[in-house]
Amino acid sequence: MSTVLILGAGSDMAVAIARKYAREKYNVQLAARKLEYLVPLQQDLQIRYGITATVHAFDALDTASHAAFYASLPVKPDQVICVFGYLGNQETAQDDWEEAQRIIATNYTGAVSILNIVANDYAARKSGTIVGISSVAGVRGRQSNYMYGSAKAGFTAYLAGLRNRLYHDGVHVLSVQPGFVATRMTEHLALPPLLTATPEQVANAVFSAAAAKKNVIYVKWFWRYIMLLIRNIPEGMFKKMKM
């Protein structure tokens, strides 16, 4: 039975992904800072799906601990899915470096730190799949969330480079652009229903795309064309828009 490691397993998307992989008979390793929140999910996955689920303490911001965390896993996973992220507050981050730093560190530095370790292991083993949950916010900086968007832009570029590097070792890297997703992180936002995916839709898209070895996916297909349009707005016009 294959094993999947889910980094940031406490989020709504991560829970849906864990349930999808367990339903497909993967053993599941749940990693996050607060283990007490993971234990009920761990028990439910084992009882409901008859798989082995384990919980592991992981802090994306504590990069010094990442090598020891990965070395401590009882079984090296066949797939790693990096789900954690932090939307933060754009206006606060403009004046408060700690908030800006947390956004950057969670969405970019922390992800790169742990995935570098996983990538080196997979390259040596000549197998494995890495999935990174990025964001359409990284396609073009907008005034409403450019701190978060710039970190996700870096993460998207990192995943593309990692895919290019690891292809030659037989390792697959999948970049996921979910678009709007109805989660606790976005519950304060007025998201348009037509453009908004559920965590379960993200989970199904991730599983199918990883199995098909796709490179980049948009969970709702029209996001690809929305972002293509936004990307091609002339800068002289774009800077005057309220976005």
Cα 153 to Cα 136: distance, rounded to the nearest angstrom: 8
Locate 200 and state its tokens: 């379960």
Q: Which of 26, 70, 108, 148 is catalytic?
A: 148
Question: What DSSP designation does 243 have?
Answer: -
Cα 8 to Cα 30: distance, rounded to the nearest angstrom: 8
Nearest 5 degrees, angle CA 84-CA 172-CA 71? 60
Question: What DSSP designation does 33 have?
Answer: S
What are the angstrom distances between the C-alpha of 176 and each of 117, 204, 207, 233? 20, 12, 11, 23
- Contact in structure between 82 and 111 (CB atoms under 8 Å): yes
Catalytic, 225? Answer no
Query: How many other CB atoms sit within 10 Å of the CB of residue 240?
Result: 7
Active site residues: 148
